[in-house]
Amino acid sequence: MNERTKESKFLDAINQYAEKQKATISAEVEEYKNQRIEQATEQGLSDAYNLIQRDIAKQKADIVIETAAKENALRKRQFELRQKIHDEVFKKAWEKLLAFTESDQYADSLKRSAENAKDLFGDKAVVISTAPKDAKYAELIKSVFSEAEIREDKDIRIGGIKVYCKETGILADDTLDSKLHDQHEWFIERSGLKVV
């Protein structure tokens, strides 16, 4: 074999080796590239999923806050309406009680209150308080109590009497004011207007 042929075969062998190495390196590069693309895709999907989850969590939180604000506004409105109804009912009751104090039956009612207090205190000395406008009933009340001091009480705005016995330290409040005031809690409990 001549030198040229040997040289040619040697170069062919080197070229073949180089081509194999090139193919191997190209395959490795392609595999590395595919792995990196797959990793980047997975990372991108993971990041997108986390971003979506954060967005969903934020939207849920926003909905909860918005719902709570609306619920509070509705409760406030419901409370205001309940209070308005309550106030109207008790204003009308107040007016009816004032009208009652101008009726003929009111004097009988005061006398019954005094008689009930007499049953409680007997003949003990008492101080009986009335609304200033009820001073005209002083003699009627004194006809029930022999030992009674009648006083005007500006805190009694509707009518009725308070009877205090210093000896026993007991105060019997039979005023229309107190009776009306005592109805507030009953009204709230039974009217169905309770704000929950």
Q: Please, which residues have CB within 8 angstroms of residue 118's CB and are 6 or more apart in sequence? A: 144, 145
47's CB contacts (< 8 A; 6+ apart) are none
The residue ranking higher by pLDDT, 67 or 23, is 67
pLDDT at 154 over 60: yes
Distance CA 161, CA 172 (A): 8
Most confident of 2-16, 69-83, 104-118, 177-191: 104-118
Average pLDDT, the chain: 87
Asked whether the predicted pLDDT for residue 76 surpasses 60, the reply is yes
**What was the pLDDT predicted at 194?**
58
Residue 179: per-residue pLDDT: 93
Q: At what angle do helices 176-190 and 3-101 cross, to 10 degrees?
A: 150
Mean pLDDT confidence for 60-71: 90
What domains are defined for the chain? 103-190 (3.30.2320.30)
Above pLDDT 70, what percent of the chain?
96
- Tell me the average pLDDT across 5-18: 76
